[in-house]
Structure 1
Amino acid sequence: MGVQEIPFYTPFYLLIFVLPMAIINVKLGIGLNKRTIYALFRMTIQLVLVGFFLQYIFLFNNLWVNSAYVLFMIGAAGLSTVKTCGLTVKKQLLPIVIGFGLPNLGMILFINQFVIGLDNIFDAQYYIPLMGMLLGNSLSGNIIGINTFYNGLRQNERLYQYRLALAANQWEATLPWYKEAVIACMNPIIASTETIGLVSLPGMMTGQILGGSMPMTAIVYQIVIMGAILISRYFGIHFSILLTRKQAFDDYDRLIR
């Protein structure tokens, strides 16, 4: 049995609940209305365009086209991280993109080759959706981790300089905030992994079940993707901080504003 088709107009029924949200925001002076409406509008436009685009990508299913689209996804995620964390686009975009790209590309190719066992590891049906899941989780994790690292250093700059004055090198002096950043990045995904199946039924598993897959098949895929998300997120935050810090300090190990 296939998934139940939803008419294109029925998602707009959800707008019934947006109106009371807007009224409450106005009454309480919560300035979220413009951002909420803009976010919903932008999400709709983006998903519609992506849906049309992916239909042709899946039909064409070319290695170079698929890889170009994945690289575009990595670049967009990197740019979003740089802007959200207040980093310099010119100096930090490439390190962030590499920090995203290396663990996630390596993980998705490993999954497609050795876990799923695809004949074509760049098959658009697996390559692009799974990569999107990995990148989406790495994006949120990297933003949390990078903000924790650099905000911690800015707020404790005197302590950092004191550690340098005690003959610590840059790595040793920044280690407390580095560890905090990794923990902050990983805590949400570890908590989610611990409670999955008890507190929530995740999106990939739910989607496969709605699409007609047997529950055990969906569960195996979900185990694979959750493990991959946790691993790629862990290495992603390490790579991102290690690569961005090269541009974040001057020759005297002072944090560049």
Structure 2
Amino acid sequence: MTKDISIYSLGLLILFIIPLIITSIFLKLDIIKKTFFSIFKMCIQLFLVSLYLNYIFTLNNRFINLLYLLIMIIIATLNVANNSNLKLKKFIFYIFISIAFSQVLTLFIFNKFIINLSNIFDAKYIIAVGGMLLGNEISGTIITLNSLYNEVSKKEEKYLFLLTIGANKLEALQESIKISILSSITPTIASMSAIGIVSLPGMMTGQILAGSIPTTAIKYQIAIMLAILNAKFISSILIIIFFNKKCFTPYSLLDKEYFK
């Protein structure tokens, strides 16, 4: 059983941000107010989450669990749309499909075949594992979209030249697609190579604090890292496919109607 943290101990967390406060005052970084507001907002949100998650975990109704997962995916979709170069109304459906498909497929494989759950809709796994996957899918999808758009825009002359000499659109975009995929998944691959020696990641640490033996915690960490890599890759590939189909004119030029 994980040892609880008292309210008094939580108050002592101020020790972690004293160096930031001192540095901000000395260098006039002007981030103290923003930092405290973010911490306050985080605490309120997390305590509210804990209240309704306790209820959801106790109830553990598959329809409520799936509804909550849907809400998570919708929020993730809006987050991606608001942080990319694409217009919200024009492309939001395709972002939703990319994230939802990779999320549902990865969760199904993870719960059904990796964890071997009798109830693949178990709230703890649907919400907790789903949340970890979505957090990584958000960053991966944003990076993929922005990287692809920036690469195509920056190399538009080269892209058009390749089209004029007979290359099809996919061939002309191959270099940009390669860069955008690598930009998305390289951080995950790099973090995987450092796990265990350089860092003890969240899933493994949580399992150990909850009382699991290190061997079990390691198995879960390996499983979640490969699940994250799979989810990020699938969502990146899907968003690239939709980008290529929807964000170009019939003449294979970038359709400015789709971009901010």
TM score, norm. by length of structure 1: 0.92
Amino acid at match of 1:52: L
Q: 1:113-170: CA deviations, max 9, x gaps?
A: 1111111100101111011111111112222222111111122222222222222222
Identity of aligned residues (%): 40
Distance across 1 between alignment mates of 2:240 and 2:31? 32
Which ranges of structure 1 fall in alignment gaps of 5 or more residues? none
Which ranges of structure 2 fall in alignment gaps of 5 or more residues? none
| TM-aligned CA distance change 1:183 to 1:73, over 3 Å | same
What is the deviation of 1:37? 3.3
Aligned Cα root-mean-square deviation (Å) = 1.8
| TM-aligned CA distance change 1:256 to 1:30, over 3 Å | farther
Query: What's 2:9 paired with?
Result: 10
Distance across 2 between alignment mates of 1:195 and 1:78? 30
Distance across 1 between alignment mates of 2:188 and 2:102? 16
Query: What's 1:170 paired with?
Result: 169
Query: What's 1:72 paired with?
Result: 71
Distance across 1 between alignment mates of 2:4 and 2:16? 23
Pairing of 1:109-124 with structure 2 (within 5 A): 109-124=108-123
Amino acid at match of 2:127: I
| TM-aligned CA distance change 1:170 to 1:36, over 3 Å | farther
Amino acid at match of 2:76: A
Contact 1:81/1:139 (8 A) holds in 2: yes
Q: 1:163-195: CA deviations, max 9, x gaps?
A: 222222222221111000111111110011111
SS where residue 72 of structure 1 aligns? Answer: helix
| TM-aligned CA distance change 1:161 to 1:93, over 3 Å | same
Distance across 2 between alignment mates of 1:172 and 1:31? 48
SS where residue 254 of structure 1 aligns? Answer: coil
Q: How many residues align?
A: 256
| TM-aligned CA distance change 1:71 to 1:166, over 3 Å | same
| TM-aligned CA distance change 1:237 to 1:164, over 3 Å | same
| TM-aligned CA distance change 1:228 to 1:11, over 3 Å | same
TM score, norm. by length of structure 2: 0.91
Query: What's 1:25 paired with?
Result: 24
Distance across 1 between alignment mates of 2:238 and 2:7? 41
